[in-house]
Amino acid sequence: MDLRAMSWNIWWRFGDDWRARQDRVVEVLKALRPDVVGLQEVWSTPSRTQADVLAAELGMHAAFAPESFPPVPSPPEHPDQAGADLGVAVLSRWPVVRQQAKRLPSTRRHRPPALLVTVDHPLGPLHVCSVSTEWSSTYADDHLAQTEALADLVTNPTLDGDLPVVIAGDLRAGPDADALRPLLRVTVDAWTLGGGQPDAATRCAVPGAPRQPQERVDYLLLRPGRPGAGVSVRDVALAGRTDDEPAPSNHLAVAADIVLDG
């Protein structure tokens, strides 16, 4: 059987009309029907989180961790941003039986969470991590320290099992960046393994978004379930077209069909 996994930065409450964008996010997720989704730049308020809203629309289970990157605007850019936090989330077709937010190192900003959840998959415990890391070249040492901490987190022997560990993240760097090397030493890149285009970009230019290089900064990384085990990807794709208005995000989603034994 296959596991359809996704990673998507859904751009918080940035831009001109986040509610219309949220409807577009739901459309994309309903069309692709992923089994697990790692989301970044997810909003939360004291009464609810965007993860819970999306899970209710999709018939899925949700987990959320606050205070991720980037920092929320201060002062708010528009009234709907006031009182809203920003975090990372995991949506799952199966119940989430455990969740923990592991804070990553940072010497200059707040410590962002790596949200690690365990999902009650029919073939056994499935571990999924959603994360968003430092991005500024000024803080390159923090960026590297965070990916090193992620590598340690996802290779912990307590996560060993029959299923691969799935890391879904906006890692804020292209696949050849020095900051990604600690993670790529212990995981495989689902995009590459599934035959994705080498020059694909997930960060896109859309109205209202800051000007940034258009490159692949969003990843599904896989750690085999046990040392020496393999992992296979049947297909990969990008989702969330940005040429229709409003664009759901200034990032495209990364989707992969991961082959599971059983």
State the amino acid at position 80 in one-letter form: D
Alpha helix ranges (H) inside 108-218: 140-154, 181-184, 190-193
pLDDT classification of 137: cutoffs 50, 70, 90? confident
Secondary structure class of 80 (helix, strand, coil): helix
Average pLDDT score, the chain: 94
Residues 6 and 166: their CA atoms lie apart, in Å, by: 10
The DSSP bridge pattern shows strands 253-259 and 232-239 to be antiparallel
Instruction: Retrieve residue 125's tokens.
Output: 């415990």
Residues 117 and 98: their CA atoms lie apart, in Å, by: 6
Whole-number pLDDT of residue 78: 92
Per-residue pLDDT reduced to its tens digit, 68-106: 999 999 999 999 999 999 999 999 999 999 999 999 999
151, 144, 162, 60: which is closest to 114 by C-alpha?
A: 151
Per-residue pLDDT reduced to its tens digit, 205-233: 787 777 877 899 999 999 999 888 889 99
Above pLDDT 70, what percent of the chain?
100
Place of tokens 């200034």: 250
pLDDT of residue 262 exceeding 60: no
pLDDT of residue 135 exceeding 90: no
Q: What is the pTM of this model?
A: 0.96
Whole-number pLDDT of residue 16: 82
Secondary structure class of 138 (helix, strand, coil): helix
**CA 206 centroid distance within chain:** 20
Whole-number pLDDT of residue 207: 77
Secondary structure class of 114 (helix, strand, coil): strand
